[in-house]
Structure 1
Amino acid sequence: MTVVSGPSELTPELLSEVLGAKVSAVTWERVGSGQIGACYRLRLDGDEEVPRRLIAKLAAEDEGSRAFLAPAYRAEVCFYRDLASTVTIRTPRCHYGALSDDNTTFVLLLDDLHPATQGDQLAGCTPAQAADAVANLAGLHGPRWCDASLLDVPWLSAVGEDDAASLGEVFGPAVETFTDRFAGVLGDRDVGTLRDTAAAITAWATGRQDVFGLVHGDYRLDNLIFPPGDAPGVTAVDWQTLSIGHPLRDLAFLLGTSLEPDRRAALERPLVGAYHAALAAHGVTGYGLDACFEDYRFAALQGPLITVLGCAYGARTERGDRMFLAMAARSCAAIRDLRTLDLV
């Protein structure tokens, strides 16, 4: 399989080979911020069956960071290669994927979803968008719900006791860094909730393991592509954080970070109910709505966990700071409202 390290290597000759159709010309432009990898929009000319637009995802331009990011590259390429066809969640069609032997270089050629647009983590989402995203999420979880064969997939990881202990050692200092960065802006109640979350995170990370499945890990608005005009049909992208865990973590993360507290409180029971009904439509049995909502409550620590670690390890930007503050405030409010820490 051919792997490239930069967009200039995506020549008409190479694209003709990997797409199986004659490409006569290609141009490209950079899109996105590229904190984990680099994304480019390709415009192609060629035979009738050649897609006219594609998104190319490649490894980060900073070669020094690629070894650290190798597990993320492996997860995304292998998701499209091994698992996308076994679930019903909407994802971009993958025309080609390849990964180097050491997992530090990769290429994915995906459908360009234009004119659909990325969700806005700062602005939040409408009730219709939330309902669409919830139903789509069930298409990831339902088909492989408690599927023991996932435990044999070599590139998928689940959190064990040692992993949970390491997470606790990392997350506590990350919370202090986060609160220092946003001192005077982050509310005192939220600071307290973040510190209480840090104290509970080790026990939480290995809790409720009787229910498990595929977890996107970062299922939020910036990783969702919505059709124009609030029409249904949202598509999920960015599969670098895929793992095995409690599926409700994705749902709690989505609702807890994408909706303002008052709106979330008003909508979360019907949205959890819609998710539960969608699971049943995918064949999930023996999992009642009450248990689903209790797991949703328990899973709410996913919000500050991903928010704080994303802030700690991502490149700092003005929009990023505002986004992380909004996500932290929303998810901390959810933890308090749902009394999540009482369940850990």
Structure 2
Amino acid sequence: MTFPAGPEALTAEWLSQALNSEVEAFSVKPLGEGVGILGLVTRVTLEGKGCPPTLIAKFPSPVADNRAVANIYDMYEREVTFYRDIAPTLTIRSPTCYYLDYDPGSRGFVLLLEDLQGYENGDQVTGCTEAQCEQIVKAIAGFHAETFATTSFDTIQRHNSEAQVAGMQAGFSAGWPVACERFPELITPAALAVAGRLPDALPKLLEEITSAPVCISHGDLRLDNVFFAEDHIALVDFQAIAKSAPEHDLAYFLTQSPSDTVRNARDWVAIYHEALTASGVTYDIELCRTRYQKCALYFLCYAVVICSALDLANERGRQLGETLLGNSLRSIAELNAFDLLT
């Protein structure tokens, strides 16, 4: 059956068919500020028989420029692939997918997903507790173990695609001067001296990060994409999944989401490695530490690109920028990761 291009095209008849239920009435509400920049995310409230009371409906961004960026990186197809092919093979919790469709010609898609009511949504500005950090680190170790050295999922690219390398080189080159101007109090002399060399180092750095062994990485593992229950977590937003080093997710999360206090409370790399190997994976701890250092340096690109694009007139935007960039630079200093550029 054909699918709606956006929430305005939803009908009770189509929802009934998609959900195999009887939808009598529904209403649609866009989700909050900052959600779904490269996609349109809405909450649909339903009335009827055999349907959930609410669900999350995702569509392509209505903004042409945002849609173009998403298409360069195949973000819509990646998320559909995750829910269709990968999620059913995993233990880690993600929203139940009620319905999905994707049109390769138009690159349009629709996802009808479980609304994770009753969970606590993480917040990258607020940070997380040490116990929550442990939940995440151990959960992603299990996720990575289940896809470690996988020979399946051929459509999922390695993270060092030409588009990824070029995008990060251009994004960092344009964004670093802006970030330095916006947040001068966060820029250390060491960062100022060598960070400008990062774009030229990216091809080799990403080649090393994506060399075997790799696993399926979430790709955007930050607190805003984590939902907490008492005894487990759930992850959302799989538009950036890729084949990459297991430390890809670990480093992005640890170097930009927890506070310095939580990040330095324990040896999280060792905890992650122990959980990974306890799941049956053979993996050297020193390789894990080396790749973690490289990933930490690489993800400065993400912090810089985001910080340079934020609306600083928005208080949360400023707080987010300070959190991302500050945490990233302090993590790099702790790991001596700028030494990789000298």
TM-score normalised to structure 1 length: 0.88
Q: CA deviation at 1:155?
A: 4.7
CA distance in 2, matches of 1:106, 1:251: 29
Q: CA deviation at 1:185?
A: 4.0
Residue 219 of structure 1 corresponds to: 221
Residue 304 of structure 1 corresponds to: 300
Which amino acid is the alignment partner of residue 40 of structure 2?
A
Q: CA deviation at 1:313?
A: 5.4
The answer as to whether partners of 2:168 and 2:301 remain within 8 angstroms in 1 is no
Residue 328 of structure 1 corresponds to: 325
**Is there any run of 5+ residues in structure 2 with no aligned partner, and where?**
none
The answer as to whether partners of 1:23 and 1:44 remain within 8 angstroms in 2 is yes
Q: Which moved more, 1:303-312 or 1:79-88?
A: 303-312
SS in 2 for 1:148: coil
* Offset from partner CA, 1:281-337 (integer Å, 9 cap, x none): 43212x133332332223212431222223445676442232122111111111111
With over 3 angstroms needed to count, the CA separation of the structure-2 counterparts of 1:18 and 1:283, relative to structure 1, is: same
Q: CA deviation at 1:32?
A: 2.5
Which amino acid is the alignment partner of residue 320 of structure 1?
G
Q: CA deviation at 1:130?
A: 0.5
Taking only the aligned residue pairs, the percentage that are identical comes to 32
The answer as to whether partners of 2:43 and 2:54 remain within 8 angstroms in 1 is yes
* Offset from partner CA, 1:38-59 (integer Å, 9 cap, x none): 2111111222x31111111111
Which amino acid is the alignment partner of residue 341 of structure 1?
F
CA distance in 2, matches of 1:225, 1:193: 37
The answer as to whether partners of 2:18 and 2:99 remain within 8 angstroms in 1 is yes
Residue 257 of structure 1 corresponds to: 256
The answer as to whether partners of 2:202 and 2:298 remain within 8 angstroms in 1 is no
Match of 2:45 among 43, 46, 51: 43
The answer as to whether partners of 1:304 and 1:331 remain within 8 angstroms in 2 is yes
Q: For 1:91-170, what aligned pairs fall within 5 Å after superposition?
A: 91-102=94-105, 104-150=107-153, 153-159=154-160, 164=165, 167-170=168-171
The answer as to whether partners of 1:167 and 1:202 remain within 8 angstroms in 2 is no
The answer as to whether partners of 1:216 and 1:241 remain within 8 angstroms in 2 is yes
1:87 aligns with 2:90: yes
* Offset from partner CA, 1:140-194 (integer Å, 9 cap, x none): 31111112334xx2353441578646643442232223223x1544333454464
The answer as to whether partners of 2:205 and 2:298 remain within 8 angstroms in 1 is no
Q: CA deviation at 1:126?
A: 0.3
Which amino acid is the alignment partner of residue 115 of structure 2?
D
CA distance in 2, matches of 1:163, 1:68: 11
SS in 2 for 1:149: coil
RMSD: 2.4
The answer as to whether partners of 2:41 and 2:59 remain within 8 angstroms in 1 is yes
Q: Which moved more, 1:69-78 or 1:96-105?
A: 96-105
Residue 239 of structure 2 corresponds to: 240
1:339 aligns with 2:333: no
Q: CA deviation at 1:196?
A: 5.0
Residue 8 of structure 1 corresponds to: 8
1:68 aligns with 2:83: no
With over 3 angstroms needed to count, the CA separation of the structure-2 counterparts of 1:140 and 1:312, relative to structure 1, is: farther
Q: CA deviation at 1:88?
A: 2.2
CA distance in 2, matches of 1:126, 1:101: 42
CA distance in 2, matches of 1:52, 1:160: 41
With over 3 angstroms needed to count, the CA separation of the structure-2 counterparts of 1:167 and 1:8, relative to structure 1, is: closer
SS in 2 for 1:306: helix
**Is there any run of 5+ residues in structure 1 with no aligned partner, and where?**
none
